[in-house]
């Protein structure tokens, strides 16, 4: 069991929230899916793609001591909180840091493991047990602490979705109460996810130009932009460009203001590549804009961004 590879159960996407008394509703966390395999005092963390993540998150070595079982498999989402809500971007700082020891981890963004299912406990597989039964077993078997939390379930999905929206979080997952756990990449209609648009405030580190005319803003976020993360140098990471939501006049205003803020070199640690006739005007990144977007890509770029009004 401890060395077994499992692809976690995946929800189907649904634009309109499922409203049905046969479903329960949970927050959709914006993080990294992790399965936790425990045996005795040992722990192994496995990602959705079956990669071993154990060395990246030494804080979770305490898991066996929080589960009242000799062996177990837990399912959940690893998140990093910023302003009391999950930040996928901040979590990626931990991923890129590679293996760390406990003292090193303290200097990096902290992580939290949000549990929402249990697949195995003390020699017994729970895959065919109804979701509501697995939830009871999970609650009875796990003790929460500062890094480990049980994901709450709600009966009113509409109210939960509204609360999630007000908090600027990712969305909601509706889970059929009598559903089994079905491992594998095939998405199951027993679990239905409804995602919301997300917002953030990004620094403008440049303008993209075509034929000397501005066509979009180049956006960035500072890594380690937190006083609590000591000893790490701040650096601006390029996260994409935005033109949607900007009028030609507004782009012109940005171009005019840029004359006093221009730089000779890119402020980004990963500047965008020049393609075709596109050129760049680099700027001192001290102005912020509010951006609405669908999600993060695996390359830490914004998908379908637009300027918020």
What is the model's pLDDT at position 219? Answer: 96
- For residue 199, the model assigns a pLDDT of 86
Most confident of 90-99, 139-148, 233-242: 139-148
pLDDT value at position 227? 40
Say if CB 117 and CB 153 are below 8 A apart: no
- Does the pLDDT of residue 232 top 70, yes or no? no
Pick the residue with more confidence: 103 or 61?
Answer: 61
Residues 191/174, Cβ–Cβ less than 8 Å: yes
Residue 249 has pLDDT above 60, yes or no: yes
Using CA atoms, how far residue 201 sits from 11, 239, 286, 298, in Å, is 29, 12, 12, 20
Q: Cα 49 vs. chain centroid, distance in angstroms? A: 16
Strand 81-82 vs strand 85-86: parallel, antiparallel, or unpaired? Answer: antiparallel
Q: Which residues, 6+ apart, have CB-to-CB distance to 179 below 8 Å? A: 130, 131, 188, 190, 191
Give the pLDDT score at 224.
64
pLDDT value of residue 230: 45
Which residue in the block uniquely carries the two structure tokens 């969305």?
A: 171
Q: Identify the pLDDT of residue 21.
A: 93
Task: Give the model confidence (pLDDT) of 2-59 as tens digits.
Answer: 788 899 999 999 989 998 999 999 999 989 999 999 999 999 999 998 999 998 898 8
Q: What is the pLDDT of residue 103?
A: 53
Name the phi and psi angles at 304, rounded to 5.
55, 55
Residue listed under structure tokens 């601006």: 236
Q: What is the Cβ-side half-sphere exposure of residue 157, based on CA atoms within 13 angstroms?
A: 22
Is 87 in a helix, a strand, or coil?
A: coil
Angle at 88 between CA 172 and CA 102, to 5 degrees: 120
What distance in Å separates the CA atoms of residue 202 and residue 306, rounded to the nearest whole number? 12
CA–CA separation, 252 and 154 (whole Å): 48
Percent of residues, the chain, with pLDDT higher than 70: 93
> Considering the entire predicted model, what is its pTM?
0.79
Average pLDDT over residues 128-152: 96
The DSSP call for residue 40 is T
Residue of 99, 102, 32 lying closest to 61 (CA atoms): 102
pLDDT at 100: 59
- Spatial contact of 216 and 277, defined as CB atoms under 8 Å apart: no
**Rounded Cα gap, residues 288 and 278, in angstroms:** 23
Stretch 193-222: mean pLDDT: 91
Strand partners, 235: 223
Task: Give yes or no for residue 209 having a pLDDT over 80.
Answer: yes
CA–CA separation, 92 and 105 (whole Å): 14
- State the pLDDT confidence band at 299, using cuts at 50, 70 and 90: confident
Question: Which stretch of 107-111, 196-200, 293-297 has the lowest confidence by average pLDDT?
Answer: 107-111
Residue-range domains of the chain with CATH: 10-195 (3.30.470.30), 198-307 (2.40.50.140)
CB 164 within 8 A of CB 172: yes
How does residue 171 score in pLDDT terms, banded at 50, 70 and 90? very high
Token pair 């030609």 in the structure block, residue? 248
The predicted structure's pLDDT at residue 229: 44
3 state DSSP class of 210? strand
Each residue of 89-137: pLDDT tens digit?
888 877 776 665 555 555 677 899 999 999 999 999 999 999 999 999 9
Residue recorded with tokens 């005795």: 40
Work out the average pLDDT over 287-299: 87
Q: How do beta strands 42-47 and 32-39 pair?
A: antiparallel
In the predicted structure, residue 246 carries a pLDDT above the cut 50: yes
Rounded CA separation 156/143 (Å) = 26
> Which token pair is 233?
């140098």
What is residue 259's predicted lDDT score, i.e. its pLDDT? 80
Whole-number pLDDT of residue 98: 65
Instruction: Compute CA distances 192 → 30, 48, 116, 163, 188, whole Å.
Output: 16, 18, 14, 18, 8
């Amino acid at each position: 069991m401890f060395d077994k590879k499992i692809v976690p159960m995946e929800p189907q996407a649904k634009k309109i929230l499922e409203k049905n008394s046969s479903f329960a509703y949970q927050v959709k966390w914006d993080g990294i899916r992790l399965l936790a395999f425990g045996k005795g005092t040992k722990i192994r963390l496995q990602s959705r793609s079956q990669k071993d993540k154990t060395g990246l998150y030494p804080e979770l070595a305490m898991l066996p001591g929080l589960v009242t079982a000799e062996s177990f498999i837990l399912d959940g989402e690893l998140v990093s909180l910023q302003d009391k809500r999950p930040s996928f971007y901040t979590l990626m700082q931990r991923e890129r840091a590679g293996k760390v020891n406990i003292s090193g981890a303290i200097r990096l963004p902290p992580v939290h493991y949000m549990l929402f299912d249990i697949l195995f406990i003390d020699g017994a597989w729970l895959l065919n047990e109804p979701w509501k039964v697995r939830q009871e077993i999970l609650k009875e078997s796990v003790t929460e602490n500062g890094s480990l939390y049980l994901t709450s379930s709600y009966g009113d999905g509409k109210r939960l979705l509204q609360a999630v929206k007000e908090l600027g979080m990712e969305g909601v997952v509706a889970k059929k109460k009598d559903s089994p756990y079905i491992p594998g990449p095939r998405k199951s209609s027993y679990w239905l996810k409804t995602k919301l648009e997300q917002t953030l405030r990004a620094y403008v580190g440049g303008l993209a130009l075509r034929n000397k005319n501005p066509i979009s803003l180049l956006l960035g976020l500072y890594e380690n932009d937190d006083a609590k993360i000591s000893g790490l140098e701040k650096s601006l990471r390029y996260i994409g460009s935005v033109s949607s939501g900007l009028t030609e006049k507004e782009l012109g205003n940005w171009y005019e203001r840029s004359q006093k803020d221009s730089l000779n070199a890119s402020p980004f640690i990963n500047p965008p590549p020049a393609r075709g006739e596109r050129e760049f005007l680099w700027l001192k990144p001290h102005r912020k804009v509010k951006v609405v977007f669908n999600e993060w890509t695996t390359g830490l770029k914004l998908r379908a961004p637009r300027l918020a009004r």
